[in-house]
Structure 1
Amino acid sequence: MIKLLQPRLFLTSIFDLDLARLHDHGVRGLIMDLDNTLVGWNRPDLSQELKMWFQDVRAHGFKMCIVSNNMTERVEQFAEKVGVMAIPKAAKPRRRSFRLAMRKMGTTRHNTAVIGDQVFTDILGGNRLRLFTILVHPIDTHEYWATRLVRRLERYVVRRPHFPQSFSH
């Protein structure tokens, strides 16, 4: 069970992701969480740095889809701002939303990565389909009350000595 909770890559933020290296490893599609991965929880702001990151991701040839457990209006509004596909109310870690995202992007489990800030939703969901999983630190400490409770358990998993600290294939 612990293996299902381990990401393949652990980074401080999305901005630390080596897009060229990821592309060289055959990844062509990125499934991304929204809250506390791309922006703060329930925050509509889109920084200039994030806009430039999306441009860089596109320039590297990646397809993108936001997969979020948040409500439809919030997720779709953000996705429209950045020009990517989205799946709201995803019920992660269920596999259905990840499969749907791959279908929308035209990718497979062999060339798709998941980027998120939560072990029990993003990483578990991606690992259940054997996708390349990337865990980032949450952007903000402000988050949904239930998420704050789960974070306590996540801290135990994250501190385990076998937790990856670098890119490995």
Structure 2
Amino acid sequence: MLSSFKPTWMVESIYQITPEQLKRENIKAVLTDLDNTLIAWNNPEATEETIAWIKLMKKNDIKVVILSNNSRKRVKKVASILELDFIPSALKPLTRGFKKALEQYPFSESEWLMVGDQVITDIRGANKAGIKTVLVKPILDSDAWNTRLNRFIELKIMNYLLKKDPEMKWRDTIHGRRIKEQ
């Protein structure tokens, strides 16, 4: 049952995911969570690192779409700055937002990758939709009030998954070396 929360890969940061890694897996499009994955949850501005990563993806013909549970107004503000398509009010972990992406863009499930910082919403939803996943560490240690309960539950789920599968480790890239836990 808890296997539906298991990510395909675990990478410290979205910025460590490169076009070369994606092409090796035949990934042509990335769905990315917004808060604490692409940008800090409490800051609507994109960092230079975020902008550079988006430019790199675009230069290499990797489609990037923001998939967020946030409101249209919140997501549009960031998506406009980054010049990205977006799907707001996705209702993750339901598959509604993922299916919308699959309908809107000419990529099959196997050509998509979901990147997010929460196993309950991002990873479980993508797994249910048949999309590969990367769990990243949250950009900030703090969260919005509505995410704190999820984090508590996630800790229990992750402890179970890590105990069951010792190969589940944080890596520096999708196919990279394991990172020693601190």
Q: 5+ unaligned residues in a row in structure 2: which ranges?
A: 176-182
The aligned residue for residue 136 of structure 1 is: 136
Distance (whole Å) between structure 1 residues aligned to residue 82 and residue 102 of structure 2: 19
Shift of 1:89: 1.0
- Report what 2:21 is aligned to: 21
Structure 1 position 104, deviation (Å) = 2.4
1:100, CA displacement in angstroms? Answer: 0.8
C-alpha distance in 1, partners of 2:18/2:156?
27
Alignment check: 8 A CA contact 1:115 1:136 kept = yes
Aligned residues: 168
Provide the rounded CA distance (Å) in 2 between the counterparts of 1:62 and 1:164. 26
Identity %: 31
Quote the offset at 1:130 in angstroms.
Answer: 1.6
Q: Deviations over 1:68-125 (max 9, x none)?
A: 0111101011111111111111110111111111222321111100000000100000
Partner of 1:158: 158
Q: CA deviation at 1:144?
A: 2.1
Asked whether 1:6 is paired with 2:10, we answer: no
Could you tell me how far apart the structure 2 residues matched to 1:21 and 1:31 are?
Answer: 15
Conservation of the 8 A alpha-carbon contact between 1:33 and 1:115: yes
Greater than 3 Å deviation, 4+ residue runs:
none
Aligned partners of 1:104 and 1:82: how far apart in 2?
Answer: 19
> How big is the shift at 1:61?
1.3
One-letter amino acid of the counterpart of residue 48, structure 1 = E
- Between 1:97-106 and 1:70-79, the stretch displaced more is 97-106
How many Å apart are 1:157 and its aligned residue?
2.3
Name whichever of 94-103 and 116-125 sits farther off.
Answer: 94-103
SS at match of 2:100: helix
Any gaps of 5 or more consecutive residues in structure 1? none
Which residue of the partner structure matches residue 147 of structure 1? 147
Task: State TM-score, norm by structure 1.
Answer: 0.93
Partner residue, 2:86 = 86
Q: TM-score, normalised by structure 2?
A: 0.86
Confirm or deny: 8 A CA contact 2:54 2:64 kept in the other structure. Answer: no
